Structure 1
């Protein structure tokens, strides 16, 4: 294709890409996908159920059709199977809260040109700390992302058949790994190490799953808190590596290695980049978020993880795809 044959359509869609975040976030804020799933078929019905204007409902429907999340047929609108799976409230995989969260973050992206120039966050306020009030929303909003990954890892490790095992979740956030795995294995016990305000959220969410009696939290900073020695069968390091620099990752992985029993397994979940940095697309994009929010973080290559794990004392390392943008890494 020559330059004369090119059309600017894709570039125009990228330039206006923030409208996708806006439309999806607004639709999630008014539970449009949930109302569609419950039987609303047109703008007037959606407007009545959601308590919004008919004009606004039609505008969102048009945008969602454009985004491929709602389809038109049989005289009305309906969710696509993708939207029905990931955007209907009440489902464990629902990402509607995350869509609303990202809508609130849109303004921060406008600082990216200056952030790129200086090589990191513009103020200390953007760096994540224990007492940041955003944890209450963020921890719950991102939990659904880990449901398919935790399930994949459980299948790889045969958690349901593992009997009396001890699980350590470093920086476990919502406790979704513990909740998922304890539900699969009634003989397992889990310990989460995270900041106190986050652990308080996790205790509540894990209790709601009915497995809180086998879930323990240790309040502290995982950089400085002791993990114990040879006490756990499985350790989880999920979405931590991308916010840390190489030396901190090596140090933390070595601490985890020491906390595992002989033959124990470390499970890493993160957005992992190909060694030649040609993909995957989401992992490459996510590096910009880390530039905005962390001092040293980025999305790391498979080769980086392999080198760090080897230095930390692991020698059986494997990479596994999941039904999400994240990769699972197993190390023994």
Structure 2
């Protein structure tokens, strides 16, 4: 049977209501695609392609120090995934790879890919254990209070770079979706990691000042990133712990929480919002950026899978619906709540609320 006949047969089966295991096979091969991407990053395939402008299969084998058979398989797989284009005998980066997979580019995504491959996926291998015990599998809660509280070199070298690449793009999406930030004076990015969101906000709005509230050792990382961005005169750091500290810094008319609340259980999330409400002045704005579930908790798939990752990575984290976040905000005293659909990494909804 030819490929066309096969596709026609599958379509006919579907139309006739006959189920096939093809969707299940595609779920399994999704893991293969992720590992292919991680291997290409590890071998610096996309950097090699960018520096050369395009290479043949034989040249790729030579540049990467691998044999022609694995080079052929890797190139075919990356091209099939939209990571490479091919013109004649030359392979070259696709626009997607050129934008996000070449190290040194502003929105380089390789940090997250490396982190997921080396630390995240091993934890996922023990997912049944996480489900049975309700405990993370990437770290031991008996040895530390949270995944964030240790100056671990693996975390420093990969996790915060991973978060920077994601938060940079989310910050750009935020500035496009909430232009009223231009009217704000001072923004506090709570749990702001390496400062990526604050950097993007200050780039977009020249009169905005910002601060990154983070654990002390993370503030050191953020300070370096801020200096590299040339924004040391407008972005500061506020060392602290928003879980342990009784109060948050005051003097800010806006607080952002980007992919923060899903790291914690409901009780902790509500506590964080109550602290935000106390810290903001009248008219102060809070901005929540999250991958939210629908109200039935049946999707979308990415948000649901990020929730599964919280089982692997955190003690009490999970993904919530927009309605749940709105309820927390209302109970914390916020009003005039608005939601804005968006598309970024780990963010499909921006929720704005104001302190009366």
Q: TM-score, normalised by structure 2?
A: 0.85
Match of 1:104 among 118, 122, 126: 118
Structure 2: distance between partners of 1:188 and 1:94: 25
Alignment of 1:35-184 (within 5 A): 35-38=48-51, 39-105=53-119, 106-121=121-136, 123-124=140-141, 127-131=146-150, 132-133=152-153, 134-158=155-179, 161-162=182-183, 165-184=185-204
**1:316 match: secondary structure:** strand
Residue segments in structure 2 that go unaligned for 5+ positions in a row: 1-12
Aligned counterpart, 1:328: 350
Contact persistence 1:286–1:299 (CA under 8 A): yes
**2:282 match: secondary structure:** strand
From the superposition, tell whether residues 283 and 46 of structure 1 become closer, same or farther in structure 2 (CA, over 3 Å). same
Deviations 1:143-174 (A, max 9, x none): 122223212322343367437x1111111101
Aligned counterpart, 1:213: 233
**1:187 match: secondary structure:** coil
Contact persistence 1:148–1:323 (CA under 8 A): no
For the pair 1:27 / 2:40, whether they are aligned, the reply is yes
Contact persistence 2:57–2:90 (CA under 8 A): no
Deviations 1:181-206 (A, max 9, x none): 22233332222211111111110011
Q: CA RMSD in A?
A: 2.3
Aligned counterpart, 1:290: 310
**1:272 match: secondary structure:** coil
Aligned length: 330
Contact persistence 1:136–1:201 (CA under 8 A): no
Contact persistence 1:174–1:201 (CA under 8 A): yes
Give the deviation of 1:329 after TM superposition.
Answer: 1.4
Contact persistence 1:28–1:97 (CA under 8 A): no
For the pair 1:269 / 2:289, whether they are aligned, the reply is yes
Structure 2: distance between partners of 1:312 and 1:160: 22
Give the deviation of 1:267 after TM superposition.
Answer: 1.2
**2:49 match: secondary structure:** helix
Deviations 1:221-278 (A, max 9, x none): 111222144x211111111101111111111111112222221211111111111123
Contact persistence 2:182–2:207 (CA under 8 A): no
Give the deviation of 1:71 after TM superposition.
Answer: 3.3
For the pair 1:309 / 2:329, whether they are aligned, the reply is yes
Deviations 1:280-325 (A, max 9, x none): 2210111111111211110111111011010111112122222324
Moved more, 93-102 or 199-208: 93-102
**2:161 match: secondary structure:** helix
Give the deviation of 1:130 after TM superposition.
Answer: 1.9
Deviations 1:76-125 (A, max 9, x none): 22333333332222222221221122111322211101111122225325
Moved more, 280-289 or 33-42: 33-42
Q: TM-score, normalised by structure 1?
A: 0.91
From the superposition, tell whether residues 221 and 7 of structure 1 become closer, same or farther in structure 2 (CA, over 3 Å). same
Contact persistence 1:223–1:252 (CA under 8 A): yes
Structure 2: distance between partners of 1:130 and 1:198: 10
Moved more, 64-73 or 89-98: 64-73
**1:89 match: secondary structure:** coil
